[in-house]
Amino acid sequence: MNKQKIVMSLSGGMDSCTLAALAIDKGYEVHAVSFNYGQKHSKELEAAKEFCKANAITHKVVDITSINSLLSGSTLTDGTAAPEGHYEEESMKSTVVPNRNAILGNLCIGYAASIGASEVWMGTHAGDHAIYPDCRPEFISAMDALAKFSGWNDPITVKAPFLFSDKGGIAKTGLALGVDYSKTWTCYNGREKACGKCGACQERLEAFASCNATDPLAYE
């Protein structure tokens, strides 16, 4: 059987792992890429590897640290402490890597063209729209338009199935699909257990709470 291939960036967090599970459920052959952009810790990449192994997903880890000197300004890579407290606009702005989704998305489009994949899926969701300019619906449309020029094969389509879902909606989808969230990592800090205090942890815990579910991940 010849399954339709899709390419997606898989960080190891709950959004991208749920997206991969959704694609598998819909019968696609998933080709996942994890980008090592010099994260302060490797917990996410480890989670990505483990998740892909557990779900028989073709997985590549690509080192893009050499472009970091062009993309300063993110507390996720520059050694500054990640902001604690609720996921609110001002403090979270320091986590923005400029033009990140266009850069990583285009690498995924190139990979898709190379392996004959028909679609690139992005994990963008509604909760990110306000803070990150490259998470807005207009951005996904622009990426899709751009992907049409990626090669000589059939045009590639860029989709963001969670574009209008919030984090709670993503958790709900994933729980229904049986995603093992103990194999995903969201926390900005890379300690043994998730901190439960950073914006990413708080948002994740709220997503599970909105589904009346308990996060299987261990917290400090």
Contacts of 54 (CB under 8 A, 6+ apart): 180, 183
Residue 4 or 182: the one with the smaller Cβ distance to Zn ion is 182
Tokens of 105: 């998305």
Residue 163 or 201: the one with the smaller Cβ distance to Zn ion is 201
Q: Which residues of 148-166 are buried (b: 16+ CB within 10 A; e: fewer)?
A: eebeeeeebebbbbbbebb
Do residues 11 and 122 touch, judged by C-beta distance below 8 A?
no
Tokens of 38: 């010099």
**CB of 37 vs Zn ion, minimal distance in Å:** 19
Do residues 39 and 64 touch, judged by C-beta distance below 8 A?
no
Residue 7 or 198: the one with the smaller Cβ distance to Zn ion is 198
Identify which range of 95-103, 158-166, 190-198, 206-214 contacts Zn ion by CB under 5 A: 190-198
Query: Is residue 195 near Zn ion by the rule CB under 5 A?
Result: yes
Residue 60 or 86: the one with the smaller Cβ distance to Zn ion is 86
Query: Is residue 198 near Zn ion by the rule CB under 5 A?
Result: yes
Identify which range of 18-26, 60-68, 145-153, 191-199 contacts Zn ion by CB under 5 A: 191-199
Give the amino acid at 80: T
Query: Is residue 156 near Zn ion by the rule CB under 5 A?
Result: no
Q: Which of 201, 205, 207, 217 binds Zn ion (CB under 5 A)?
A: 201
Do residues 123 and 158 touch, judged by C-beta distance below 8 A?
no
**CB of 200 vs Zn ion, minimal distance in Å:** 6
Identify which range of 16-24, 90-98, 174-182, 193-201 contacts Zn ion by CB under 5 A: 193-201
Residue ranges of E strands in the chain: 5-9, 29-36, 58-63, 119-121, 157-159
**CB of 170 vs Zn ion, minimal distance in Å:** 18
Residue 14 or 122: the one with the smaller Cβ distance to Zn ion is 14
Query: Is residue 102 near Zn ion by the rule CB under 5 A?
Result: no
The sheet that has 29-36: what strands, in order across it?
Answer: 58-63, 29-36, 5-9, 119-121, 157-159
Q: Which of 19, 45, 143, 187 binds Zn ion (CB under 5 A)?
A: 187
Query: Is residue 92 near Zn ion by the rule CB under 5 A?
Result: no
Tokens of 84: 């604690």
What residues line the site for Zn ion (CB under 5 A)?
187, 195, 198, 201
